[in-house]
Amino acid sequence: VEGPSGVIERYREWLPIGADDPYVALGEGSTPLVRANALSEKLGSEIWLKVEGANPTGSFKDRGMAVAVSKALAEGATAVICASTGNTSASAAAYASRAGLQPIVLLPAGRIAAGKLAQAVIHGARIVQLDGNFDACLDLARQLADNYPVSLVNSVNPVRLEGQKTAAFEIVDALGDAPDVHVLPVGNGGNISAYWLGFTQYADHGNASRRPQVWGFQAAGAAPLVNGAPVADPDTIATAIRIGRPASTELAIAAKNESGGFFAAVDDDEIMAAQTFLARKEGIFVEPASAAGVAGLLAMAERGEETGGRRITVTVTGHGLKDIDTALGALDPIETDVVQADLPAVAAACGL
């Protein structure tokens, strides 16, 4: 199937895709690593943002989905299935469609941002909205893949993590070495595990002199890894990380422990404030869940915790346009008065 160059062409020797295997690509990866000037100043550190909203479907999921759908294609699958809080389903729908496979997505009803649902619809996914949360959707997706001819493309499928680890490679390739710290939002625990795999492989291979600490931030109402116990009824405005029983709990804890990092929680107000900070100070519009890492850093600075003198990379995981309802809902209402088309009136309306 191929397509524009993506993570498989760029990092094939690190991925479980053979030279002659079919693969699908939409130009995923090679996302911007943007120096965060305002955030760097606030923390007294050198901070870089890995802007994963720049992927083809607007989130980091495309890296793993390129590899997972390629594998499914090579194994003769005709359909793929996933449970999702929205981004995985958007990505699965796009990559499966490109590969000629039927995407099927299980979603928690009423908890998917409109942009993400639109992606699943427009790419022709079979959409099943469940009366249950993400954790229930994932249980059922696993059972369906065990019992029916459909291939599971959630991150419990290890090839998803293989694809997602390429973001860590790109960071080291761009900076010339691993950062001191890597920060990211955590939901199901897949991405933090993927980054740790990538940083570890690069260090083992001599492409980096060391591995970073990894700091993972969860939403306070959905923080099983912070609490050390599952959350039966997770809730947060950041619907992408509204997860109570992370499938990759063990791998995520190993990444935290082996790196000497930590998990911490940020509340919804901190998440929304970080989203606005990124938009207004750095020029980067991310969805609420994607702001959790930055929210965590800002909260540490606020509390006077030691954040200075380090090189810190932060993954901002998905594009802000995915969920405009939440973004606009957190701000003052938009000025809707219509202004007369004459210069003084328009100048006054412009605040000039």
CA nearest 72: which of 123, 21, 113, 111? 21
Helix, strand, coil in percent for the chain, rounding step 5: 50, 15, 35
Total residues interacting with ligand F0G, rule: CB under 6 A: 23
> Is 264 strand, coil or helix?
strand
Q: Is 84 in the site for ligand F0G (CB under 6 A)?
A: yes
Task: Please report, as residue ranges, which positions from 190 to 219 form the binding site for ligand F0G (by CB under 6 A).
Answer: 190-192
- According to CB under 6 A, which one of 25, 167, 240, 272 is a site residue for ligand F0G? 240
Query: DSSP letter string over 88-103?
Result: HHHHHHHHHHHHT-EE
- According to CB under 6 A, which one of 3, 56, 108, 185 is a site residue for ligand F0G? 185
Q: How far is residue 350's CA from residue 69's CA, in Å, rounded to a whole number?
A: 49
| Residue span binding ligand F0G (CB under 6 A) among the ranges 73-81, 145-153, 181-189, 223-231 | 181-189
* Alpha carbon separation from 159 to 201, 244, 246, 249 (Å, rounded): 15, 23, 17, 17
| Residue span binding ligand F0G (CB under 6 A) among the ranges 11-19, 122-130, 180-188, 337-345 | 180-188
Which of 88/275 has CB closer to ligand F0G? 88
Which of 87/307 has CB closer to ligand F0G? 87
| Residue span binding ligand F0G (CB under 6 A) among the ranges 33-41, 80-88, 98-106, 260-268 | 80-88
Task: Please report, as residue ranges, which positions from 94 to 153 form the binding site for ligand F0G (by CB under 6 A).
Answer: none
> Is 104 strand, coil or helix?
strand
CA nearest 116: which of 278, 274, 287, 284? 287
307 is in an annotated binding site: no
Q: Is 290 in the site for ligand F0G (CB under 6 A)?
A: yes
351 is in an annotated binding site: no
Q: How far is the CB of 185 from ligand F0G (least distance, A)?
A: 4
317 is in an annotated binding site: yes
* Kind and range of the H or E run holding 61: helix 61-74
239 is in an annotated binding site: no
* Kind and range of the H or E run holding 328: helix 324-329
CA nearest 178: which of 216, 139, 209? 209
87 is in an annotated binding site: yes
Q: Which bin fits 309, alpha (ψ -120 to 50), beta or left (φ > 0)?
A: left
Each residue 60-79 as x (binds ligand F0G by CB under 6 A) or -, in order, gives -x------------------
313 is in an annotated binding site: no
Please give the annotated binding residues for pyridoxal 5'-phosphate, written as ranges.
87, 187-191, 317
Footprint of ligand F0G on this chain (CB under 6 A)?
Answer: 59, 61, 84-88, 155, 185-192, 240-241, 287, 289-290, 317-318
